[in-house]
């Protein structure tokens, strides 16, 4: 029973963690991309389509990431090159992604998918208690943790990470030092797109190997909230994602236990939890202000 709960929490948390880590990097560079939901849902439809067409879920994972990058480039061009309002453009990306994925996915509705294989190491995966949890996950779960390690190391321990943070904290100074503000932001937005695409692909290849319209159901927005929750620190995003995974899973198990509570109210839990968490976090204004990239959401036009 406990093993089953932990396994489902991991499944529910992984797409959130993937998307949140990507958005975290984009926001660290000063770009507020509210289009995570749109990039995720494009990753989901592309991941499913590639998986079904090639018969290979691994190719599907790649397809999901590529789709995420492609749509993120539209956002990057409009907000970075043409300095359009980031909030409105992010909304546009979400509406566009939801529409396009519905159109592209129409012929895939109801088709059976192929599930991403889980790791199976003889001797380790069959270990009691921890075997299945630690050694029996699919590649995207491990990738999500690798991304957390990688991003934490990149942001805090590398020169490139320092430049990215400088661009996000004070784009005028970074520009004066000779760094390409727009170039760094393009890369950060593309990374965010790839990770959101992976998160979406996880939904349609590993979570439920199916394509359903709007199947990300607001997870992109929850991922955005997680970045705030994490105060832009990769490790805290893990805690946040797994807390939300637990809340999401709670509804299934509460239903299974036959708790006489309307299912609609249980389905509200992740959304209500997001609101509550955001309120709790914003109570601590000093910490939030300290960690928020100072140039977040502000457009930059290089002066020449």
User: Binding to another protein by residue 301, rule CB under 8 A?
Assistant: yes
Site for another protein in 181-220 (CB under 8 A): 217-218
DSSP character at residue 84: -
User: Binding to another protein by residue 285, rule CB under 8 A?
Assistant: yes
Q: How many residues at the interface with another protein, by CB under 8 A?
A: 48
Site for another protein in 57-76 (CB under 8 A): 74
Taking contact as CB under 8 A, which single stretch among the options 40-48, 158-166, 204-212, 268-276 is the one that binds another protein?
268-276
CA distance 215 to 41: 7
Taking contact as CB under 8 A, which single stretch among the options 198-206, 230-238, 246-254, 281-289 is the one that binds another protein?
281-289
Taking contact as CB under 8 A, which single stretch among the options 17-25, 54-62, 118-126, 257-265 is the one that binds another protein?
257-265
CB of 112 to another protein, least distance (A): 22
User: Binding to another protein by residue 14, rule CB under 8 A?
Assistant: no
Which of 16, 19, 228, 241 forms a contact with another protein (CB under 8 A)?
228
Q: Which is nearer to another protein, 86 or 137 (CB)?
A: 86
Taking contact as CB under 8 A, which single stretch among the options 8-16, 83-91, 135-143, 148-156 is the one that binds another protein?
83-91
Residue 138: strand, helix, or coil: strand
Which of 15, 30, 60, 97 forms a contact with another protein (CB under 8 A)?
97
Q: Which is nearer to another protein, 96 or 135 (CB)?
A: 96
Neighbours of 253 (CB within 10 A): 14
CB of 277 to another protein, least distance (A): 10
Backbone angles phi, psi at 118, to 5 degrees: -90, 155
Which of 149, 153, 235, 265 forms a contact with another protein (CB under 8 A)?
265
Q: What token pair was written down for 217?
A: 């159901």
Q: Which is nearer to another protein, 1 or 279 (CB)?
A: 279
User: Binding to another protein by residue 275, rule CB under 8 A?
Assistant: yes
Which residues contact another protein (rule: CB under 8 A)?
Answer: 34, 74, 78, 81-85, 87-89, 91-93, 95-100, 102-103, 106, 178, 217-218, 221, 224-225, 228, 262, 264-265, 267-268, 271-272, 274-275, 278-279, 282-283, 285, 288, 301-302, 304
């Amino acid at each position: 029973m406990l093993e089953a709960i932990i396994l489902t929490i991991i499944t529910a948390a992984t797409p959130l963690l993937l998307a949140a880590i990507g958005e975290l990097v984009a926001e660290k560079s000063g770009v507020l991309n509210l289009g995570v939901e749109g990039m995720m849902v494009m990753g989901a439809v592309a991941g499913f389509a590639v998986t079904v067409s090639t018969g290979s879920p691994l190719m599907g994972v790649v397809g999901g990431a590529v789709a995420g990058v492609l749509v993120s480039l539209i956002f990057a061009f409009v907000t970075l090159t043409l300095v359009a309002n980031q909030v409105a453009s992010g909304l546009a990306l979400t509406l566009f992604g939801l529409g396009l994925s519905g159109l592209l996915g129409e012929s895939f509705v109801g088709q059976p998918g192929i599930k991403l294989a889980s790791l199976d190491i003889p001797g380790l995966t069959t270990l009691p208690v921890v075997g299945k949890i630690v050694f029996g996950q699919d590649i995207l779960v491990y990738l999500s943790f690798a991304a957390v390690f990688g991003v934490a190391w990149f942001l805090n321990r590398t020169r490139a990470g320092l430049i990215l943070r400088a661009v996000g904290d004070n784009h005028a100074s970074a520009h004066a030092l000779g760094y390409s503000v727009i170039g760094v932001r393009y890369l950060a937005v593309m990374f965010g797109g790839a990770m959101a695409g992976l998160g979406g692909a996880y939904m349609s290849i590993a979570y439920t190997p199916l394509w359903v319209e709007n199947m990300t159901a607001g997870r992109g927005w929850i991922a955005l909230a997680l970045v705030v929750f994490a105060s832009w620190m990769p490790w805290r995003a893990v805690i946040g994602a797994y807390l939300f995974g637990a809340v999401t899973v709670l509804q299934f198990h509460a239903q299974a236990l036959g708790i006489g509570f309307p299912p609609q109210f249980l389905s509200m839990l992740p959304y209500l939890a997001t609101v509550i968490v955001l309120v709790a976090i914003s109570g601590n204004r000093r910490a939030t202000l300290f960690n928020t990239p100072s140039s977040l959401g502000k457009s930059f036009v290089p002066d020449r």
